[in-house]
Structure 1
Amino acid sequence: MRSVWHVKFYLLLIVLQISIFTAFAQTAPAPSTSRTLLRTGHLLDVKTGAEPTGQTIIVTGDRITAITPTASTPKQTGDTEIDLTRYTVMPGLIDVHTHLTMANNFDPYFELSMTPAKEAIIGVENAKVTLEAGFTTVRNVGANDFTDVALRDEINAGHIPGPHMQVSGPALGITGGHMDENLLPYEYHVHGQGVADGIPAVQHQVRENIKYGADLIKIGATGGVLSKGDDPQASQYTLEEMQAIVADAHRLGRKVAAHAHGAQGILFATEAGVDSIEHGSYINDEDIALMKKKGTYLVPTAYLIDWAQQYANLPPLYAQKMKDVSAVEKANIHHAIQSGVKIALGTDAAVYPHGLNAHEVDVYVNQFGMSPLAAIQTGTINAADLMSWTDRTGTIEPGKWADIIAIDGDPLKDVKILQHVNFVMKSGIVYKDETHKQ
C-alpha cells in the first residue's frame, strides 16, 4: 500500500513540474527578432578574395540572416545600426590548436603546482583575450581534469566571454611519453591523466574522454619539446594503437588530432587515419605523399618558434629540444606547403602568450610564401572544414553564426593588420568595439 502512495506522490510532483514549466513557457519573453545592421566598408569574401563595398550584414539573434546592398537596406524601427564603413569586415578567425587553460610558464615547479582550480581561472582569462584578438572559434587540444569542457560549457551558457570551442580533455599518450607527467621521481607514482598503453587501454581512454565531454581526441604520436626525457623525433604510439584510437573516435563521431614532430610518427598517425597532424617538424616526402592521398590536414604552429627564439627563457631540459626542432621545422613546413598539403591555422598558444594568435598568418605569408588570401583561408574556411563546422562558421553567409571582425585596412595587402582587430562580434553579440576611437 505504501508503494502505491509513493507512486501517486511522484506522479503528482511530475504533474506539478510540467504545469510550472508550461506556465513559464507561456509567460517567458519570446526570443528577440530585432535586427542588427552592420554597415561595412569593404566586405572580404574569404573564398574568392572579392572585397565589395557598401554592403550591409543583417544579423538576427546569433545568426547572419542576409547580406544586402546598404543603399537598399534602410534602418527600420527596432533595428540596431553599427557603422563599420571605415573598416574591412571579415569572418572571425579560427585557431585549431590552442591551450586556453594553460599559461605561458614552463618552469617545472609552476607546472607541478598547477591545480584544476588554477587551470579553470587561467582558462577564463585566456578565453576573453583570445576572443578579443579576433578568434571567435578554437579547438582546445589538451587540458587536465576536463577544465576545457567546463570552460566550453560556461562560454556556451553565456556566463563568461570566449570563443566557440571544441575540446579534447586530457591528451592520450604512452607511459613516459610527451603526455605523461615525467617531472616527479618513481616513488610518487604519478601518471598523466590521458596515459594509456595497449589497444584495450587506449579504447577505454577514448571512450572515457568522450564520456566526460570531449569533442575530439588528441594523441601523442611522437615525443615533444616541452616535456622531460622524450625525443621529438621518436614515435610513441604504435600504428596498431593509433588505428584503434581512430576507429573508436570516428565511430563515435569525433575527429583525432595527432601531436607529431618526427617523420615516422607522422607516417604512422596518417596511416592510422588521424584528421590532423599538429606541428609536423620533421615531415618528409613520404609523409607528405600519404597526407595528400588521405586528405590529412597539417597544423604548423610555426610562430611559436619565432617567439621562443626572441623571448623564451626555457629551462635547460627543454631548451635544447626547442633549438633542435626550430632548426628544421620552418624549412620542412615550407616544403610541405609548396607540395600541396592542406593547412589549417593553429598556434599552440600557451607556448607563447595568448592573444598573439594572428602572428601565425604573417609567418604563412612572409616566411612560407602563401598568398595573403590563402593564409587567411587557413584560419577561416580550412579550419572550419577540419572542425566539421563549415555549416556554422568560416565565412560570412546567411545561416551561419554572426562571428564577424573588422580591421582598419586591407588584410590582402598586409596580413599584419590582423594582429590588432578593432571590432569583434560573436554569435551576434559585440565583445569589442574600438571603432569610435579617434
Structure 2
Amino acid sequence: MPRVVVVGGGWGGCAAAAAARKAGAEVVLIERADMLLGTGLVGGIFRNNGRFTAAEEMLEMGADIFAVMDRCAIHTNVEFPGHKHASLYSVYKIEPAVREYLTGLGVQIMTNARVIDVAKEKDKIVCVVVEKHEPVRGDVFVDATGTSAVPANCTKYGNGCAMCILRCHSFGPRVSLTTRVGVEEWIGKKPDGSLGAMSGSCKLCKDSIDPSIVRELEEKGCALVPVPEHVREEEKLLSMKACQQYALPEFIENLVLLDTGPVKLMTPFFPLEQLRKIPGMERARYEDPIAGGKGNSMRYFGFANCTPELQAIGPVDNLFCAGEKAGAMVGHTEAIVTGSLAGHNAVRKAIGEKLLRYPDELAVGDFVNHVIEEMKKEEGRQYKYTFSGSIYFKRMVQKNLYTTNVEEIKKRVHNANLKDIFNTKLV
C-alpha cells in the first residue's frame, strides 16, 4: 500500500488526505498547530455564488467532505451584498466534525507537529523532518502548507502580528516543502504592486454587540449595520483585501455581519475606537484576530509552480500542491477542489497511473486549469481567483459554467465520466 504524507491541515490538506485515503493509500496528515483547518477555523462561508456549482460538482465526484460542511451549517440560503444562496457553517463545530470524518476514513492525524525540512534521494522526497518527532517517511507528498503564517510577513507587509487563529508564535511559522526542495515560487501582488494581501474578515464576540443585531443575525444569518460617513475607511477595503469579491460599495457603507457562531465582520480590520462609534457596536470586542482593530494576517507568499494536475514542477517528482500553495485561489471551497485532486493524484503517481486532470467542461476544471495558467504570468499574479466573485466568477458566468440546477450539474459530471471518482479505490 503506498503511503501519502500530507503536510498542512487546512481545508486543502484535509481534502487531500481524504481523497488519498479513499483512493486506497495509507495517509498521514501533519499539522503544526493543535487543531485542523487553519483559517477555516474562522471562515464559515460556502455555497455562495459559483461555490454552489463547485460544491455540487465535487459531491457528485465523491468529495463528501462538503457533506461535513453541510452538516455543520447553521444558516443556508443566506443573501448579502453581491452574494446569493450562501451557507454558513459554525466555526465552533466544524473542526471536531472534520477530524471525526478523517479519523473514520483511517487517516493518521499528527497535530502539534511542525515540519521543518525534507530529505531527498535523487529526484524524490523520502521523508519530512518533524520538530520534536521522528521523521515521517512516505512515497508521495502533498504540500498544503499555505501561503501565510510567517510573522515576518505580517510585520513587513502588513501592520504587524494581529494575533490571529494561525498562532505562529505558539506553534511556529509554516515551512514550505516546495521552498525546501527548490520548486520555483511566486509572491502575489496587490494592484499597487506591493506584496501579499490581508485576510478579509474578523470575528467579534456576540455578547459584545447590540442584542437586536444579534437577533437579526441569528434569524437571517446576515445583518447590515450602516457606517456613518465620518468613520468609513475605504482604502483598506479596496486595496488590502485578499478577498476581492467583497470589494463593493456596500461593504464600505455598512458593516456586513454574518453569523458563523461568532459575528463575522466582513472587513480586514477596523480600528476599535472607530468601530465603537457605530450604533450598536459601542462595546464591540474582537475574538479573532485579537488585534483586529490594528490589522490581520498577511497571505499569498509562495505560490508554487505546478501542473494542472497539481504536481509540483521542479527537482522532485513525488510532490503535489493543495490549497493556496497551488495558486491565488481564495476560499475553503477552492482549497477542497485543489486538495481533492492533489490527494487523488498522489496515489495515482505512487502506483504509476496517468494523473487526473479536471476537464474544462466542469467549473472546477476551468477554474484550476485557468488559474494554474495565470500563475505563470506576472500580471496574472496580481489578482485573486474565487468561484464566489471578482474576475473568475465573471468568467464562470460568461462560460455558462455557473448554475444552481443540481440535475444539470450531475449530468455534467456524468458526461465527463467522473461520477464518484473520489470514491474509487485505485489500490
TM class by smaller structure: under 0.3
Q: Indicate the structure (1 or 2) with the bigger Cα radius of gyration.
A: 1
TM-score if structure 2 supplies the norm length?
0.24
Structure with higher RCO (Cα < 8 A, 6+ apart): 2
